[in-house]
Structure 1
């Protein structure tokens, strides 16, 4: 692969291009191969440098535009690239973070509450399309599904479904379920360093209401997370919190 970086005249932004690259063969999905090639281009580039266009990548890699879009979306989600409407896709400025990611146990402890967990399910499953896409693996690949009822000071707080890439965690199910997932990941050098979260208001279904001890249709907060250790996706989780007992606190800062 030949990597070039060009300066546009008259104060324009720099750009990156890739020449003579073909997608290889094997079980690695094409969008992952494209993503890793582009990652190699942008890793050492200056923030604001224009990334290769989707059209250029489609031509160079001989893949569908949807495949290229999926690869670029992943890099945007990681924070390596950013899209600017009307201009294009560029190497992103480094992420600015405020505070440290905390596990449920740590979060409850910071609020003066004792966290407890009850395992409802822990087994090996095959990844469905949604989980596979979030973990950037192939549908049907093995994942670990760990479902827990989380309590604080003895009261039900949330139901959490965590999905883990079994390839990264050999022997995880056989070694006994840990008290804290993040501590177990830290022991393997995989403690999450940043995450993508989404939060929505909803109502509980019958099963969630039974576990959380609220009526079906009661208010809940749905929290989805994709957690990464540097650039490696280590966890995808979906949690349902009681709307009357949990408040989400978010620290914000401004760029300096």
Structure 2
């Protein structure tokens, strides 16, 4: 370590060196404040600053009463393709689980009728679920489904399958529209996702069309520390999407 660096920066460099070299893998517990104080002969304030800054920078995750751990890279979800989250999680070799929060028929208000591009709609299927990876909530799904497209949607057992899998099996998807916004979670989202008020989130708002009708409108909320959205396409030489 460079003696020219402040002590807290020297501790940060030591921890980052172990992470970047692979010596400390994601999920590994890092030395506690007490252990850093003893090893580097520094103050507790200095050790706390090093751990606090590395946590804020996304390298560590601190679990109160348990310890500080090397943070795993956030999981990736496609921003373009319509993919089943259970399959994505299984593909990573992780365990998928879900909690059903609400499932009911609901009135179609004017704003929803506009989203579904059908002012004659009076009722919609509504579903709220939390999807989990290794027991950790990674996605809050708030979905409306057009009953003219999938009449029996609410009859399905969502403890054994996902809404996306049900919709893909029931009707072809011809067109997708995606809008992504950064947001802070509401109190209800904090409770369902197990996050703090200042945890930034990504909200993916998706509309799906099937045979000329809007089949479903869904908002998928991801804690930004646990999930990332990505896309990759072929383009022309000037950067336009290839057909």
Aligned to 1:183: 165
Query: Per-residue displacement from partner, 1:47-75 (whole Å, max 9, x unpaired)?
Result: xxxxxxxxxxxxxxxxxxxxxxxxxxxxx
Q: CA RMSD in A?
A: 2.3
Query: Per-residue displacement from partner, 1:212-241 (whole Å, max 9, x unpaired)?
Result: 111123211111000123533211101111
- Residue 165 of structure 1 deviates from its aligned partner by 0.6
- Residue 101 of structure 1 deviates from its aligned partner by 2.5
Alignment check: 8 A CA contact 1:115 1:150 kept: yes
TM-score (norm 1): 0.56
Quick one: which of 219, 223, 229 aligns to 2:210? 229
Aligned to 1:72: none
Alignment check: 8 A CA contact 1:129 1:139 kept: no
Query: Per-residue displacement from partner, 1:91-112 (whole Å, max 9, x unpaired)?
Result: xxxxxxx984212223333433
Distance across 2 between alignment mates of 1:99 and 1:221: 15
Distance 1:156 1:101, change over 3 A: same
Distance 1:180 1:253, change over 3 A: same
Distance across 2 between alignment mates of 1:131 and 1:160: 16
Q: Structure 2, unaligned stretches of length 5 or more?
A: 1-78, 237-241
- Residue 148 of structure 1 deviates from its aligned partner by 0.2
SS at match of 2:189: helix
Aligned to 1:253: 234
Q: Structure 1, unaligned stretches of length 5 or more?
A: 1-97
Distance 1:104 1:129, change over 3 A: farther
- More contact order relative to length (CA 8 Å, sep ≥ 6): 2
SS at match of 1:160: strand
Distance 1:138 1:220, change over 3 A: same
- Residue 138 of structure 1 deviates from its aligned partner by 1.9
Distance 1:160 1:175, change over 3 A: closer
Does the alignment pair 1:199 with 2:180? yes
Aligned to 2:196: 215
